[in-house]
């Protein structure tokens, strides 16, 4: 099955405006043609327009790191999917473990966010992942099964090419501990099987790996048959590192 590689950057809450502009400029100089990957840079909200303007005419796309579960109205501090789309971004991350952990995001809210994003024509990078405790208790497969199952009906409303699943073991995020290529592959294959319960086109759904992906480990991860790319946090804050990850595919 031919799935287009997908590499996304997640800047999280990093970089001031000047640093962001420099990195956006450096990224827009990366030739992604050779890699034939889809590349999405997920920036903090205030930099969405800077990113889309900088990436005009390039193959890089812009994403946000979240969107509101509401369409419009009295929701102080929230940013709607339509606002994000109006800045010409075309992706949003949803369900990142840091949102689940620090903002208590759960299935009902996440399903609403998926529907809002889709209504605003934003594509979705939907994150799942188990904690270290869950893995140690051998609950990691159950955990992932549940995280996918609880939003499957919302995802089923989307065209198959408008969402990507990111497997991000929480114990590997920002810790420098990467899942071994075999451990990651085992879970990606499992996720694809779970997706088969809800999607006849499951073999076409891209599943990307996140969790301390670096230029050093990217190639070995990308060799695995069910790993279709990466969601890169720390290493995406440096243009040379991110470029090297893109070109590892």
Which residues are marked as active site? 96, 168
Q: Applying CB under 6 A, does 65 fall inside the site for ligand PGA?
A: no
Tell me which stretch binds ligand PGA (CB under 6 A): 13-21, 207-215, 217-225, 238-246: 207-215
* Residue from 110, 124, 234, 242 in contact with ligand PGA (CB under 6 A): 234
Contact characters 167-196, ligand PGA, x per CB under 6 A: -x----xx----------------------
Write out the binding residues for ligand PGA, residues 149-168 only, by CB under 6 A.
168
Write out the binding residues for ligand PGA, residues 88-127 only, by CB under 6 A.
none
**Do the beta carbons of residue 112 and residue 66 sit within 8 Å?**
no
93 sits in the region (left: phi over 0; alpha: psi -120 to 50; else beta) called: beta
Query: In the bound complex, what is the minimum distance in angstroms from residue 246's beta carbon to ligand PGA?
Result: 14
Nearer to ligand PGA, 61 or 212 (CB): 212
Count Cβ atoms within 10 A of the Cβ of residue 62 and give its class: 0-12 exposed, 13-18 middle, 19 or more buried: buried
Q: Applying CB under 6 A, does 232 fall inside the site for ligand PGA?
A: yes
Scanning 9-120, the segments in alpha helix (DSSP H) are: 17-28, 48-55, 81-86, 97-103, 107-119
Q: Applying CB under 6 A, does 227 fall inside the site for ligand PGA?
A: no
Q: Applying CB under 6 A, does 225 fall inside the site for ligand PGA?
A: no
Query: In the bound complex, what is the minimum distance in angstroms from residue 57's beta carbon to ligand PGA?
Result: 27
Query: In the bound complex, what is the minimum distance in angstroms from residue 247's beta carbon to ligand PGA?
Result: 17
Nearer to ligand PGA, 179 or 195 (CB): 179
**Do the beta carbons of residue 231 and residue 127 sit within 8 Å?**
yes
Tallying the residues shown for the chain, one arrives at: 249
Write out the binding residues for ligand PGA, residues 8-47 only, by CB under 6 A.
10
Nearer to ligand PGA, 104 or 159 (CB): 104
Distance of CA 150 to the CA centre of its chain: 18
Question: Nearest-CA neighbor of 192 among 138, 244, 128?
Answer: 128
C-alpha radius of gyration, the chain, whole number: 17
Beta-carbon contacts of 96 under 8 Å, excluding residues fewer than 6 positions away, are: 10, 65, 66, 127, 168
CB neighbours (10 Å) of residue 35?
18
Size of the site for ligand PGA (CB under 6 A): 13
- The site for ligand PGA (CB under 6 A) is made up of 10, 168, 173-174, 210-213, 231-235
């Amino acid at each position: 099955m031919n799935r287009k590689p997908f590499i996304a950057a997640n800047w999280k809450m990093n970089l001031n405006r000047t640093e962001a502009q420099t990195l956006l400029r450096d990224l827009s100089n990366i030739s992604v043609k050779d890699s034939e990957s889809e590349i999405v840079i997920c920036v903090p909200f205030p930099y969405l327009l800077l990113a889309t303007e900088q990436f005009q005419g390039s193959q890089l796309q812009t994403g946000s790191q979240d969107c509101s579960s509401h369409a419009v109205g009295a929701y102080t501090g929230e940013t709607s999917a339509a606002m994000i789309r109006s800045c010409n971004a075309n992706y949003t991350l949803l369900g990142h473990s840091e949102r689940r952990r620090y903002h208590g995001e759960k299935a009902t809210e996440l399903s609403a966010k998926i529907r809002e994003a889709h209504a605003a024509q934003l594509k979705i990078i939907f994150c799942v992942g188990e904690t270290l405790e869950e893995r140690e208790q051998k609950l990691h497969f159950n955990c992932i099964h549940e995280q996918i199952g609880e939003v499957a009906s919302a995802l089923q409303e989307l065209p198959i090419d408008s969402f990507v699943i990111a497997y991000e073991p929480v114990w590997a995020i920002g810790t420098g501990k990467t899942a071994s290529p075999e451990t990651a592959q085992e879970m990606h294959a499992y996720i694809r099987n779970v997706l088969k319960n809800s999607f006849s086109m499951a073999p076409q759904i891209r599943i990307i790996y996140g969790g301390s992906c670096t230029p050093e480990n990217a190639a070995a991860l990308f060799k695995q048959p069910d790993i279709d790319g990466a969601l890169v946090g720390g290493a995406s804050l440096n243009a040379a590192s991110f470029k090297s990850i893109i070109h590892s595919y």
